[in-house]
């Protein structure tokens, strides 16, 4: 079974992916935070940096596209194919209100006619493989039967199912029973996403769903960057975590023009990564109050050097 790194806006950019791959190899596929192609048919510089081949050397990467317009999707897919990409991912899962209000992301699940028109247009001319990341529905997991009937009409390369509805956002329990039905009925290979945070979670999914193609993990991999090593039976080393942290600081300081901007990105990462260390929660307020990059960097180095790892076996929740 394969392991995918979910896209997290403001965290899993090309810098993070490159360093994660160096220190914690084993992820089968990384996904970009969504790109939003428009009628201008130009990738803005910020998006172009994320997908530029030179920024993703030796990194298995699938760009994710967020749009409700087939023409815009096809332009982006062709441009990405020209860059050497062999697959793109259509986002039908983002539950953000600003996205769904525009009929994009999980908003498409509330208008199945629009979803079908979009897929008709895409698969009439797309030059590369297309996977889909989806929710179970807008309000009720029972909606997914009708959604899956549509997906099964197209040669989708893989169906990545976040086992919640759009209204549930990222809170509350997932719906494994609805996922069981989807796994059995999908014509495309299926990837599970939602509430996976430890190696134990992944092993349990592999045992429960032997037909599963992959598992996608987001926050759990940021909280524990060495999770992929735990799955392979290796013990995560303090040295790797320390070097990973130090190189992230250096890379973001250089990329963003100074430690102050680097600090904002590192706060987003460390909000989750504190879970890798026993007693890390005691540092949460201190990290939050840090106002200067060197101050925060010193705190993260102190954590890496002094606090015990919470889950050397990968079995503890973050």
CA nearest 74: which of 21, 130, 138? 130
Q: Which fold does the domain 32-195 belong to in CATH?
A: TIM Barrel (3.20.20)
CA distance from start to end of the chain: 23
**Chain center to CA of 99:** 17
Question: Which pLDDT belongs to residue 236?
Answer: 63
86 SS3 class: coil
How far, CA to CA in Å, does 29 sit from each of 25, 54, 57, 217, 268? 11, 17, 13, 11, 22
CA angle, corner 144, sides to 142 and 149, nearest 5?
Answer: 130
Q: In the chain, what are the domain boundaries?
A: 32-195, 238-306
Question: Running DSSP on this structure, what letter comes out for residue 253?
Answer: H
Per-residue pLDDT of the chain (318 residues; tens, 9 = 90+): 999 999 999 999 999 999 999 999 999 999 999 999 988 999 999 999 999 999 999 999 999 999 999 999 999 999 999 999 999 999 999 999 999 999 999 999 999 999 999 999 999 999 999 999 999 999 999 999 999 999 999 999 999 999 999 999 998 889 999 999 999 999 999 999 999 988 889 999 999 998 999 999 999 999 999 998 878 777 667 889 999 999 999 999 999 999 888 999 999 999 999 988 888 888 999 999 999 999 999 999 999 998 988 754 444 333
Helix then strand then coil, in percent of the chain rounded to 5, is 50, 10, 40
Structure tokens at 196: 């996976």
CA nearest 297: which of 287, 282, 307? 287
Q: Which residues contact 279 (CB under 8 A, 6 or more apart)?
A: 307, 308
Question: Which pLDDT belongs to residue 218?
Answer: 95
CB 225 within 8 A of CB 241: yes
């Amino acid at each position: 079974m394969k392991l995918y790194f979910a896209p997290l806006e403001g965290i899993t950019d090309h810098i993070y992916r490159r360093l994660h791959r160096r220190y914690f190899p084993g992820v089968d596929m990384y996904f970009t935070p969504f790109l939003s192609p428009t009628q201008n048919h130009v990738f803005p510089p910020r998006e172009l940096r994320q997908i530029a081949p030179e920024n993703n050397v030796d990194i298995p990467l699938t760009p994710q596209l967020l749009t409700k317009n087939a023409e815009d999707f096809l332009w982006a897919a062709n441009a990405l194919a020209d860059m050497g990409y062999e697959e793109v991912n259509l986002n039908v899962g983002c539950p953000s209100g600003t996205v769904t209000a525009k009929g994009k992301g999980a908003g498409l699940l509330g208008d199945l006619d629009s979803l079908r028109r979009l897929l008709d247009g895409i698969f009439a001319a797309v030059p590369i493989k297309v996977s889909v990341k989806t929710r179970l529905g807008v309000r009720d997991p029972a909606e997914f039967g009708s959604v899956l009937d549509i997906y099964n009409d197209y040669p989708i390369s893989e169906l990545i199912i976040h086992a919640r509805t759009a209204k549930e956002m990222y809170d509350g329990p997932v719906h494994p029973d609805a996922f069981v039905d989807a796994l059995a009925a999908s014509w495309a290979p299926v990837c599970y996403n939602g509430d996976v945070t430890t190696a134990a979670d992944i092993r349990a999914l592999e045992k429960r769903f032997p037909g599963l193609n992959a598992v996608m993990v987001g926050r759990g991999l940021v909280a524990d960057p060495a999770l992929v090593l735990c799955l392979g039976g290796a013990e995560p080393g303090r040295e790797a975590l320390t070097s990973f942290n130090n190189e992230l600081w250096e890379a973001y300081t250089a990329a963003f023009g100074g430690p102050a901007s680097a600090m904002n990105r590192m706060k987003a990462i460390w909000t989750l990564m504190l879970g890798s260390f026993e007693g890390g929660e005691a540092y949460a307020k201190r990290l939050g109050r840090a106002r200067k990059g060197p101050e925060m960097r010193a705190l993260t180095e102190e954590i890496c050097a002094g606090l015990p790892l919470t889950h050397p076996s990968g079995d503890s929740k973050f």
